[in-house]
């Protein structure tokens, strides 16, 4: 997921990285030697450097400077983010995303709304299913060892933390990046645009969703470099 998302990085941009799967975008950028081609930021305040993940999320190694968090959000709210990579807990056929409420559990939305509403491009990153999903890469192909028990692409999300309808109305570019498929939000709904090598579109993507995504022509195969051990060569 991190490798596919990193392919969307472009030079001379300001990037926000959220917690979870987006943390790996920083690791891939550093591995590929392009971390200093753009400015990676985290909502806690670091500007530049290499954002950390896991229990160290919120800090960055070799940051250029640190803002107070309220100042960082002034910058975000003012449209300072070019590319935002956020987590993906639930998504639906309208392109809505939920990261804030699941049954009786209220996680809250944090800075999710500020960041997604004001970024010029948004990429939601996460596994395709949840609850026991296990995968492996074999001979350059993705293998689903154990499918997750819970679907994350639903007919309708439990709570709207990001509005797909609003994003589409203002032509905000939005992508949903998972380990096996990539989706894109357009004016008339969510389109399946890419699928990982080794994955069957019908049985391992569409049949595991709560809705049928739109398809425009032929679904592309995800870049094969993602599924190799060596670096992808993004610096070139």
What pLDDT shows up at residue 95? Answer: 98
Tell me how far CA of residue 197 lies from CA of 4, 42, 123, 206, in angstroms: 13, 32, 21, 15
What pLDDT shows up at residue 196? Answer: 98
What pLDDT shows up at residue 58? Answer: 87
**74 conformational bin, left if phi > 0, alpha if psi -120 to 50, beta if neither:** alpha
What pLDDT shows up at residue 54? Answer: 84
What pLDDT shows up at residue 215? Answer: 97
Residue from 193, 140, 137 nearest 8 by CA: 193
What pLDDT shows up at residue 158? Answer: 96
The per-residue pLDDT string of the chain (236 residues; one tens digit each, 9 = 90 and over) reads 999 999 999 999 999 999 889 999 999 999 999 999 999 999 999 999 989 888 888 899 999 999 999 999 999 999 999 999 999 999 999 999 999 999 899 999 999 999 999 999 999 999 999 999 999 999 999 999 999 999 999 999 999 999 999 999 999 999 999 999 999 999 999 999 999 999 999 999 999 999 999 999 999 999 999 999 999 999 98
43, 93, 179, 194: the catalytic one is 43
Q: Half-sphere exposure of residue 189, counting CA atoms within 13 Å on the CB side?
A: 12
43 part of the active site: yes
């Amino acid at each position: 997921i991190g490798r596919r998302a990193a392919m969307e990085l472009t030079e001379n941009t300001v990037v926000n990285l959220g917690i979870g799967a987006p943390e790996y975008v920083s690791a891939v950028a550093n591995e590929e030697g392009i971390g200093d081609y753009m400015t990676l930021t985290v909502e806690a305040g670091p500007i530049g450097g290499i954002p950390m993940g896991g229990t160290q999320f919120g800090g960055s190694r070799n940051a250029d400077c640190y803002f107070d968090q309220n100042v960082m959000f002034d910058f975000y709210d003012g449209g300072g983010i070019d590319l935002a990579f956020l987590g993906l807990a639930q998504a639906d056929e309208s392109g809505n995303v939920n990261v804030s409420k699941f049954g009786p559990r209220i996680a809250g939305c944090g800075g999710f709304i500020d960041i997604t509403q004001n970024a010029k491009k948004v990429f939601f990153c996460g596994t395709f299913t949840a609850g026991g999903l296990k995968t492996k890469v074999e001979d350059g192909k993705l293998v689903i060892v154990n499918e997750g028990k819970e679907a994350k692409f639903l007919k309708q999300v439990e709570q709207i933390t990001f509005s797909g309808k609003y994003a589409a109305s203002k032509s905000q570019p939005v992508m949903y990046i998972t380990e096996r498929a990539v989706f894109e939000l357009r004016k008339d709904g969510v389109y399946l645009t890419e699928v990982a090598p080794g994955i069957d579109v019908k049985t391992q993507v569409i049949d595991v969703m709560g809705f049928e995504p739109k398809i425009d022509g032929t679904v592309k195969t995800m870049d094969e470099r993602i599924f190799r051990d060596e670096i992808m060569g993004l610096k070139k």
